[in-house]
Amino acid sequence: MRNLKNISLILSMIVYIFCSCENKTNQSDFVGEPYDPSKPVELTRFYPDSGGMATKILLEGSNFGTDASLIKVYFNEKRAAVIRSVGDLIYAITPRQPGDTCTISVVVGKDSLVYPNTFEYTTTIAISTVVGVPNANESRAGTLSEARIQKPQFICVDDEYNVYVSNESAGLYLLNEEANIVNKIMESGSYNAPTIDKSTGRHILVPANSGNPYLRFSLDEGFSYRNINPVRVANPDIGISNWSFSYKHQFASCELDGMIYFGSRTDSYIVQINPLTREMKPIRDLRAQQSNYFAMFHPKDKHMLYLAARNLYCIYKYNLLTDELELFAGRRGTPGHADGDRLNDALFREVIQIDFDEDGNLFVADRTNHCIRKITPDGIVTTVIGIPGTPGYIDGTQDYAMLNNPWGVAVAKDGSVYIADYGNQCVRKLSIQ
């Protein structure tokens, strides 16, 4: 009954706000008092006190003014859309994923205030299939419903929502949901995780599975590509002259210096590629932590390189500025599944491809746990989707959805997470709102 009364009140107030603004063409024509910088802004209450993305919320107080463009409302650090203000009442829309418990702040002019109560944000998680069907055992281009990708292994997505999928030992696919198309852009060859070139934002880097070469696709030239074969050089600064490696699984492009980095397999190093000189050299010896590595830079701390160590069941982070390497999550040499604190509690079974969202949440394809895991900026590991240790194929909500050996994970700019669901022969899409 209380919820019905709250909904009724909110709807009534929204109607009031819009009716008050009827036949007004300018913000200054709206009813209510304009903002007076000589008077304080006051906050009283807001309602509702809980909801999810795009929840309509009313903020009560005084001296807000009537020009919505001069008012800023934040849920934690995420800015909300302010629709209208009538001086003592603001109509706003909650932003996407501001956090579970939100402090609401209002900024008008030089005044910035915080409501004493908090807003509880409800996250909705669901997964759907974009391309493919289980057990199809074939690969072909076509529309989203027609196309098949037999062994989707690794994945990335650019800012135009082009999704690149490596098909194990059988080329590279490009799909776009809006265009309803899946094209094969490499007919054959064994390629690992595609990566956005952060220094340009207009190129995709795709490492060949073995040897030195990689492909550099251009978004501005019809996805044409160049085959680049960098030359190994010595690095006397760390005492390495003759060196070699096998396997480079995921490149990480650094916005700070324009270089490309990856963790090599045998022998294990952190390797730097200079795209201009086409020289590659080891910058950190990882032979004491020998593993297959998957790499990604942090979106905010751009000097921090994260390395998922598949064979060690853990994730490291490396500081480019200080040369410090430290364990970030999991327990080295201990496989399993456990959520909680990233160092004290969390266990992973087989960490493969990793990617960050814009807020610094790290998504991990935990392959043989059949799950996608998330590590929050405050160090909490959760299972986002999938039933630990149980393979399967079910679309739907977090409680029931199942994956089968997910290898790849990629986060789009709208926060959607694309998954290369290898065992199900599908590309899946995780919506988190």
């795209």: which residue's tokens?
275
- The arithmetic mean of pLDDT across residues 5-19, rounded, is 50
DSSP 147-190: -B-SSEEEEEE-TT-EEEEEETTB-EEEEETTTTEEEEEE-SB-
What residues contact 112, with CB distance under 8 A and at least 6 apart?
A: 105, 106
Q: Where are the domains of the chain?
A: 42-121, 125-432
pLDDT on residue 4 = 42
Q: Which two tokens stand for residue 216?
A: 């550099």
Secondary structure (3-state) at 8: helix
Q: Examine the pLDDT at 43 and tell me if it is beyond 50.
A: yes
DSSP 398-431: TTT-B-SSEEEEEE-TTS-EEEEEGGGTEEEEEE
Q: In this structure, are strands 111-121 and 50-51 parallel, antiparallel, or unpaired?
A: parallel
For 91-100, the pLDDT digits (tens) are 999 998 898 9
Q: Does residue 52 contact residue 124 with C-beta atoms inside 8 Å? A: yes
CA dihedral 113, 55, 178, 404 (to 10 degrees): 100
Q: Which two tokens stand for residue 260?
A: 């490309």
Residue positions counted in the chain: 433
- Answer yes or no: pTM beyond 0.75: yes
Query: Could you give the maximum distance between any two Cα atoms of the chain, in Å?
Result: 78
In degrees rounded to 5, what are phi and psi of residue 173? Answer: -115, 150
Report residue 65 CA to chain centroid gap: 37
Long-range contacts of 373-376 (CB under 8 A, 24+ apart): 373/339, 373/348, 375/315, 375/328, 375/329, 375/342, 375/346
pLDDT on residue 187 = 82
DSSP 230-245: -EE--BGGGTB-S---
Omega before residue 100 within 30° of 0, cis: no
CATH 2.60.40.420 correct for 42-121: no
Which helix or strand (DSSP H or E) is residue 105 part of?
Answer: strand 101-108
Q: How confident is the model at residue 53 (pLDDT cuts 50, 70, 90)?
A: confident
pLDDT on residue 3 = 47
Which numeric CATH code is attached to 125-432? 2.120.10.30
Return d(Cα 307, Cα 362) in angstroms, integer: 11
For 189-244, the pLDDT digits (tens) are 788 999 999 888 899 999 988 788 999 999 999 889 999 999 999 999 999 988 88
For 121-173, the pLDDT digits (tens) are 998 899 999 999 999 888 999 999 999 999 999 999 999 999 999 998 788 99
Return d(Cα 14, Cα 20) in angstroms, integer: 10
Q: Does residue 94 contact residue 86 with C-beta atoms inside 8 Å? A: no
Q: Examine the pLDDT at 9 and tell me if it is beyond 60.
A: no
For 17-35, the pLDDT digits (tens) are 545 544 444 444 446 889 9
pLDDT on residue 12 = 53
Q: 175: closest CA among 222, 146, 204, 143? A: 143
Which helix or strand (DSSP H or E) is residue 84 part of?
Answer: strand 78-85
